[in-house]
Amino acid sequence: MATKPIARARRLWRHLVTDRGHVHAAFPPEELVRVENAISEGERTHSGQVCFAIEAALPAARVWQRVSPRERALEVFGLLRVWDTERNDGVLVYVLLADRDVEIVADRGIHARVGQAAWEAICVRMEALLREGRYAEGIALGVKEISALLATHSPRGGDDRNELSDRPIIL
């Protein structure tokens, strides 16, 4: 089938031409502040820790090796130590801009209570807004939906502290 090599070549091309400039165009400073505020506001209602990371593209070799956005999100989850929270309720929202893909990776403590279907449904809604070019709006919506789930399944306690930075991370 010719479509698989063509799709692979198109993906490689997208990753070669997408750079940090595209990230800054999609998420100018004021939009990054909007995302940070959504995370901070949400964390006032739950004990979970939400981390947002965006990556422009993967290196060509990683694309050629067929590293999926999900695989990369799992790597980033570990690299950023989102798993290292007291209650195991860290949640990573990862955007791979070249693929217009959103992945949510939740630590085992909160994932067991929420389930994969809920995370995937949020990703679908966020990706729809990304495809329309409404980047910060899509992320802010997702963060609000994640916060609502966390408020239900991991409500805020009196001794909660902010274990992960609310500031968006550009990889």
Q: Mean pLDDT in runs of 10 for the chain (171 residues)?
A: 78 96 95 94 92 97 95 97 90 96 95 94 95 92 95 83 91 96
Question: Can you tell me the distance from the alpha carbon of 56 to that of 69, in angstroms, rounded to the nearest whole number?
Answer: 12
pLDDT on residue 2: 53
pLDDT value at residue 161? 80
DSSP assignment, residue 50? E
In the CATH scheme, what architecture does the domain 3-170 have? Roll (3.10)
What is the predicted pLDDT for the residue at 162?
83
Interhelix angle for 29-43 vs 135-153, to 10°? 10
Identify whether the C-beta of residue 53 lies closer than 8 Å to the C-beta of residue 92: yes
Phi, psi dihedrals of residue 144, rounded to the nearest 5°: -65, -40
Asked if residue 127 lies in contact with residue 138, where contact means CB atoms within 8 angstroms, the answer is: yes
pLDDT at 82: 96
Instruction: Please indicate, yes or no, whether the overall pTM of this predicted structure exceeds 0.75.
Output: yes
Residue closest to 57 by CA, chosen among 35, 36, 78, 72: 72
Tokens of 26: 């999609």
